Chain A
């Protein structure tokens, strides 16, 4: 019997361990029309929840995407990281805005190499984790957003 390709592929070592909530990771996000293509370069994403499928063990992550554009026009709930010292700590080079509001702009994706990919200086998509004070701030924000995608 032939197994479907999804069962045959070799898993990356990092796929079996869920990233911690509030981790900054690198992965793909849907890009522009007309084709429903992937970006060629994984972008920064902020993990805002994790879950596991009870049968397959597959891990899923709710992520907010990061953009380097329109930092000055961010929603008050968005997380904007522009401080150079903090960027270094979080292993990001460019000032980045993570889009938190509206919550419906977040996506739940499987924690697999199809959706997440390390940058070339790393063996894992996980780059860093937010400092605790920022974790509390972001946690309070998403706890009151009514339109998050649900696991």
Chain B
């Protein structure tokens, strides 16, 4: 018997340990608060940034 690395579902590529984590739901109020912090820090939402690709802009 040999020890086996954790592998992908249908192939032999191993997954890293981070892939096993349970990623929780994030409260909306925390997301909104964080958006505001980032917007203040980087001046987001002012139209200054130049779009590279924005599917929402069509």
> Is there a chain A Cβ closer than 8 Å to B30's Cβ?
yes
> Is there a chain B Cβ closer than 8 Å to A105's Cβ?
yes
> Is there a chain B Cβ closer than 8 Å to A120's Cβ?
yes
> Is there a chain A Cβ closer than 8 Å to B1's Cβ?
no
Nearest-neighbour CB distance to chain A for B47, whole angstroms, equals 8
Q: How many residues of A contact B (CB 8 A)?
A: 60
Q: Is the CB of A93 within 8 A of B26?
A: no
Nearest-neighbour CB distance to chain B for A77, whole angstroms, equals 13
Among residues of A, the one whose C-beta sits closest to the C-beta of B29 is: A33
Q: What bracket does the count of chain B residues touching chain A fall in?
A: 35 or more
Chain B neighbourhood of A93, CB < 8 A: 8-9, 15, 19-20
What residues of chain B have their CB less than 8 Å away from a CB belonging to chain A? Answer: 8-11, 13-28, 30-35, 38-39, 42, 44-45, 47-58
What residues of chain A have their CB less than 8 Å away from a CB belonging to chain B? Answer: 18, 20-21, 26, 29-33, 36, 41-44, 48-54, 58-60, 62, 65-70, 84-85, 87-88, 92-94, 96, 99, 102, 104-105, 107-110, 119-122, 138-139, 142-143, 145, 148-151
Known A-B contacts: A69-B25, A104-B31, A121-B15. Give 11 more (CB < 8 A).
Answer: A31-B24, A48-B55, A53-B49, A54-B48, A60-B44, A69-B23, A93-B19, A93-B20, A143-B55, A151-B45, A151-B51
